[in-house]
Structure 1
Amino acid sequence: MNSVVSRGPFDGVLRRVRQWYAIRPEMTVERLAFHVAVFFTVFCNGAFFHAVSGTGAFHGASGFRVALSLVLMIGALNMLLLSLLLNRWTVRPVLTVLIPLTAVAAHFMSRYTVYLDPDMLRNILHTDGKESGELLSIGMVPSLLALGVVPTLLVWRVRVKVRPIGRAVLVRLGCIVLSLAVAGGAMMASFQDISALMRNHKEVRHLITPGNYLVSLVRVAQHDGARHRPKTPIGVNAQVVGRTPGAKPRLLVIVVGETVRAQNWGLNGYARQTTPQLRAMGPINFTDVTSCGSATEVSVPCMFSPFGRAHYDEDRIAHTQSLLHVLDHAGIATLWRDNQTGCKGVCDGLPFESFEHARDPQACTAEGCFDEVMLRGLAEEVARRPGDAVVVLHQLGSHGPSYAKRYPARLRRFTPTCETADLGDCTREEIVNAYDNSVLATDDFLARTIRFLAEQSSRDTAMIYLSDHGESLGENGLYLHGVPYAIAPDTQTRVPMVMWFSPGFAADRNLDIDCMKRESRAPASQDNLFHSVLGLMQVRTPEYERRLDLFDRCTTPH
């Protein structure tokens, strides 16, 4: 009797899968590098070509030639890069890292119009695990699979053909020379147009993947490697002058805000009242304030430095002591309390407290703490500093993209809200609602801080609030922040600033509050903070510039 073998419906599919799996093409390293270079150029540089198209470079009679030249140039540069990185021993490990990283970079550049310059890479590298985790969403899985996982698996299916070492060296040198020739020839074919593009729109180079993040990583590593050298001292002979004998000690709280933009600040005339508690308190609100940078890693060190944006020098700022060091030299106690990822070098060597991983049941959840946690135990810390003191409270504020995690349920007033970090899955209304609720949380925190200061009967107290940078909420396709400063929109560089003074502080300092309210309508910037705080606390040092002191016109000598 003949036996009949029953075949299931998937047998044919499984057989084809086994047949495919048995296929292992053989390639030289150079040929594999060529395929990967083409893949990077065609599939991972959509953000670059979209940005270039937006400049009008592809329009007109020369448009096609410019586009073709850029494709050839970028492809040749990618081939050059891979020719320098890959050999028979490194080809699989390097591509296993490089391809998924490039896929992630391509996703975020296309999704949020992120420019991967050194400042952005520094922000990413210095972001903690919780904030990084917020950026990982289901929405990025398809692109990561298509651009990262599948190509990497294909690389591992390739059998690398090995040449004799002498011939391999000659072939590799030939690839390098040919890559340089093609890149140079493509550039020369449209030199006038491409040079104009790169001259007038320098920022687009930070969209060329994977070269953008690799070059930026090298520059960040060089910068961070040098950060550990000693900071240049400033204000070592600083002194407090002109204090009234027997006057109460002063307590100034500087609140460094996070990602709050001036356009959504209720006190600035925003259509929604996102600052109802502050409005009732009537503080001094500055309506036209510019940030030093469009990201925390730039703005925070800059605003506490004597150089500011007017004399911006990243390396000089990083390796020079800050405002807090000058105050310390003058005998004024300092304390930095942080609900973010550190003081960015501003408080190096000075008292520092982190609440990033606090476990306060009233102010914290499993996903992090609300900013009010920084007021816990503050009275006790202040009591340990009997003289004049300056305390900095560094907020988590409106840090995106998970705006809905920045405020408690009681402040969810604007609905419906975007409840995911993948902003592409939300309407703009939902994004703005969630963001505005986070601004309400900053209003609540500042009101709590003012009430705390008003209760300190043994001290004259004051508060200065200044956000580090703003945020894009979908305008012109931009989200989040960190766009290169030269092209950053106002939504990322205009920030709120608010001041409050107890009656005793204003009287002892001879500060005319009505005058300050008039001055608050004039343009100001983060460059003013360093000099204004020194002036307010009556610290004299050569670094102080009177013309940048916002209080100078509104104080009278004793």
Structure 2
Amino acid sequence: MNTRSIDIPLPSPTAGSSATQRHVPLPGPIKRIDEYLSRSMSAQKIVVLLSLYFIIATNWPLWFQLARIGGAPSLYMRSAVVLGVLIACGTTALLAATAWTRGMRFVWLAVALTAALSQYYMLTYSVVMDPGMAGNVMQTDAHEVADLLGWHMLFGVGIVMVLPVWWLLRVRIPAMKPLRQIVRNLLLMVVSLAVAAALVAAMSRDLAPLMRNNPQLRYMLNPIASLYSAGVSVIRPLVTRKKQLIPMGAGAALGATHAAGSKPMLFALVVGETGRADHFALNGYDRNTNPQLAARDVLNWSNVRSCGTSTLASVPCMFSPLGKKDFESRKDDYETLLDVVKAAGMNVLWIDNQSGCKGVCDRVPHVVASEGLSADQKQKYCDASGECRDLVMLQNLPQRLDAIPADQRSKGVLLVFHQMGSHGPAYSKRSSASSKLFKPECTTEVLADCSHSELMNAYDNSIVETDRFLGATIDWLKTQSGTYDTGMLYLSDHGESLGEYGQFLHGLPYSVAPDVQKHVPMISWLSPGLAQREQLSLACLRGTSDTAYTHDNLYHSMLGVLDVKSPSYRADMDLWAKCSGASVADAR
């Protein structure tokens, strides 16, 4: 058989002697491929060939999406050809800046790896790589990364990377004078952009309606969209004008119900994670996912929409005084609900069982839920990786409260619990054995590999775990009713796709995201003492269960129920105001 050998240096058995060579023969077909890949080639040609490779190897989500959009094959095949040429031209123009003879191999490999990873996640979870998704990826913690890893990912990425790795490590790039390289790179860039511009002009009648009616397609052009989104997420904070922090605490004060002689208030605000309203039994879901809440006298609102489709987008928005529209167009940053409550005199403590508060808790006391746990508590509530179930946030609460000086506790305490909730794709990890009411579960991170029933079982069990945590939170608050007037409000940050339209997880651009990523649960419990203190009619509040609310209502509703007066308060946005015996006209 025709073979070629490669030289592998081996250490000499004699100290100080030169290394020997072992000749390892390559089989004939591999030898021929290796000879072809290791031939001499200019950096500019490498860039062009790499761009063509991306069309074939890393754009399958785009081709599948074009086929799903429908129409005659002749129509979407024409769109595929046009988009393929645009991807090649755009990638070539982008990579032309890297077409140098030295030091670029690993840059090209990094681009290939980015494209391969992006394709894997787009294929597996039907997400798109917009700047918001790139920002979410960059803020993902180690536990969330571990949930996404698996042999499926290694295979999916590896099959794309094997040829670029082999080729880019073997290809010989001849030296070229710097001036000549600059000229050739500029020429390559200009020609690529010119071809792309001419194609867009010629095909605008087809492209314009396609991209306008399907805006997600622009974030599926791989690797252009992936590199653009990653670049925006990294560069934008560096070049953007440093935002001024606008104070919101001026004029904040505790209302009349905080007068001396009354009990201090202890209120728990639970920031849920990935909770879908339509999978809560309280909202009519046909599975009993809320046995604990159903047994307690809770208030439930079934028609609530989130500010965003990811934690990074929703959490800062829901605590903002601005509302979704003004928050997204703001020129400066603003202090949040927590700053105003603190300025009024109440104590605030953020307890986190997630990947951080996204800046919301930066100016108030905050702790990670696992801090200070005993060995027994860790064994009971946490797994080997250190990830803990949400019930861990209720541990050591008496000690955390006692750490607040008594004179400050007398002004009231707002506790904010940030859940791990139903964060995917490892839904099965989000529930304990006692919460696994529905079996069998999906236990893989590749959700499309599970049957629909297994996926529903795993997700619904995570909702049961949230129900268990909320029930336990209410029970703990009841134990504090001798000292405090207590209450709780739960509101999820966003929803989740569970295979509808082939989509999984969350984080799609808000304008194209399905309603299941935006329709969120909101539940409250008030102690009799707090309801009486605030003159709230529970019967009236239950009558508002179908009223349309959004995350925009949270800021004003929390100021209302906490009886914190502020110039930023709006009674028309306070969900409690219409059911309060106190005069709504009394501006806070």
Cα RMSD of the aligned pairs, angstroms, is 2.0
Structure 2 SS opposite 1:145:
helix
Please say if residues 101 and 148 of structure 1, whose CA atoms lie closer than 8 Å, have aligned partners that are also in contact.
Answer: no
Does residue 388 of structure 2 align to residue 353 of structure 1?
no
Question: Which residue number corresponds to residue 56 of structure 2?
Answer: 42
How many percent identity over aligned positions?
36
Separation in 2, partners of 1:329, 1:177: 57
Question: Which residue number corresponds to residue 464 of structure 2?
Answer: 440
Structure 2 SS opposite 1:26:
coil
Structure 1 SS opposite 2:379:
coil
Is the alpha carbon distance of 1:296 and 1:316 closer, same or farther for their aligned partners in structure 2, counting shifts above 3 Å? Answer: farther
Please say if residues 340 and 356 of structure 1, whose CA atoms lie closer than 8 Å, have aligned partners that are also in contact.
Answer: no
Separation in 1, partners of 2:231, 2:151: 30
Please say if residues 341 and 356 of structure 1, whose CA atoms lie closer than 8 Å, have aligned partners that are also in contact.
Answer: no
Q: How far off its partner does 1:15 sit?
A: 5.7
Is the alpha carbon distance of 1:15 and 1:488 closer, same or farther for their aligned partners in structure 2, counting shifts above 3 Å? Answer: closer
Please say if residues 86 and 94 of structure 1, whose CA atoms lie closer than 8 Å, have aligned partners that are also in contact.
Answer: no
Q: Specify which of 192, 195, 216 is matched with residue 179 of structure 1.
A: 192
Q: How far off its partner does 1:41 sit?
A: 1.6
Question: Which residue number corresponds to residue 73 of structure 1?
Answer: 86
Does residue 320 of structure 2 align to residue 295 of structure 1?
no
Q: How far off its partner does 1:13 sit?
A: 6.3
1:351-500 matches, cutoff 5 A: 351-355=365-369, 360-367=378-385, 368-383=387-402, 384=404, 385-456=409-480, 457-500=482-525
Q: Specify which of 63, 69, 73 is matched with residue 55 of structure 1.
A: 69
Question: Which residue number corresponds to residue 282 of structure 1?
Answer: 297
Does residue 225 of structure 2 align to residue 212 of structure 1?
yes
Q: How far off its partner does 1:115 sit?
A: 0.9
Is the alpha carbon distance of 1:554 and 1:257 closer, same or farther for their aligned partners in structure 2, counting shifts above 3 Å? Answer: same
Is the alpha carbon distance of 1:363 and 1:211 closer, same or farther for their aligned partners in structure 2, counting shifts above 3 Å? Answer: same
AA aligned to 2:574 is D
Question: Which residue number corresponds to residue 568 of structure 2?
Answer: 543
Is the alpha carbon distance of 1:332 and 1:227 closer, same or farther for their aligned partners in structure 2, counting shifts above 3 Å? Answer: farther
Is the alpha carbon distance of 1:12 and 1:29 closer, same or farther for their aligned partners in structure 2, counting shifts above 3 Å? Answer: closer
Separation in 2, partners of 1:154, 1:544: 62
Structure 1 SS opposite 2:124:
helix
AA aligned to 1:409 is A
Structure 2 SS opposite 1:396:
coil
Please say if residues 337 and 392 of structure 1, whose CA atoms lie closer than 8 Å, have aligned partners that are also in contact.
Answer: yes
Structure 2 SS opposite 1:496:
strand
Q: How far off its partner does 1:282 sit?
A: 2.6
AA aligned to 1:293 is G
1:38-437 matches, cutoff 5 A: 38-56=52-70, 59=72, 63-225=76-238, 231-243=245-257, 244-313=259-328, 316=331, 319-355=333-369, 360-367=378-385, 368-383=387-402, 384=404, 385-437=409-461
- CA deviation vs aligned residue, 1:496-529 (integer Å, no higher than 9, x gap): 0000000101111111111111112211111100
Structure 2 SS opposite 1:500:
strand
TM-score under structure 1 length normalisation: 0.94
- CA deviation vs aligned residue, 1:185-241 (integer Å, no higher than 9, x gap): 221221111122222322221111111122112221244446975522112221122
Structure 2 SS opposite 1:391:
strand
Which ranges of structure 1 fall in alignment gaps of 5 or more residues? 1-10
- CA deviation vs aligned residue, 1:407-453 (integer Å, no higher than 9, x gap): 11111110010111121221111111011000000000000000000
- CA deviation vs aligned residue, 1:307-358 (integer Å, no higher than 9, x gap): 22243316557x2111000101111110000000111111112100012676
AA aligned to 2:474 is I
Separation in 1, partners of 2:105, 2:167: 10
Moved more, 373-382 or 470-479: 373-382
Separation in 1, partners of 2:77, 2:302: 46
Question: Which residue number corresponds to residue 6 of structure 1?
Answer: none
Separation in 2, partners of 1:354, 1:394: 10
Please say if residues 66 and 80 of structure 2, whose CA atoms lie closer than 8 Å, have aligned partners that are also in contact.
Answer: no
Moved more, 77-86 or 60-69: 60-69
Separation in 1, partners of 2:158, 2:31: 21
Please say if residues 270 and 416 of structure 2, whose CA atoms lie closer than 8 Å, have aligned partners that are also in contact.
Answer: yes
Please say if residues 66 and 190 of structure 1, whose CA atoms lie closer than 8 Å, have aligned partners that are also in contact.
Answer: no
AA aligned to 1:522 is T
Please say if residues 285 and 520 of structure 1, whose CA atoms lie closer than 8 Å, have aligned partners that are also in contact.
Answer: yes
AA aligned to 2:540 is C
Separation in 1, partners of 2:350, 2:42: 56
Separation in 2, partners of 1:132, 1:408: 21
Separation in 2, partners of 1:201, 1:312: 25
AA aligned to 2:336 is S
- CA deviation vs aligned residue, 1:19-67 (integer Å, no higher than 9, x gap): 65455211001111111000112221111232233334x6486554433
Separation in 2, partners of 1:83, 1:208: 18
Separation in 2, partners of 1:64, 1:97: 30
Count of aligned pairs: 546
Separation in 1, partners of 2:437, 2:78: 53
Separation in 2, partners of 1:84, 1:492: 39
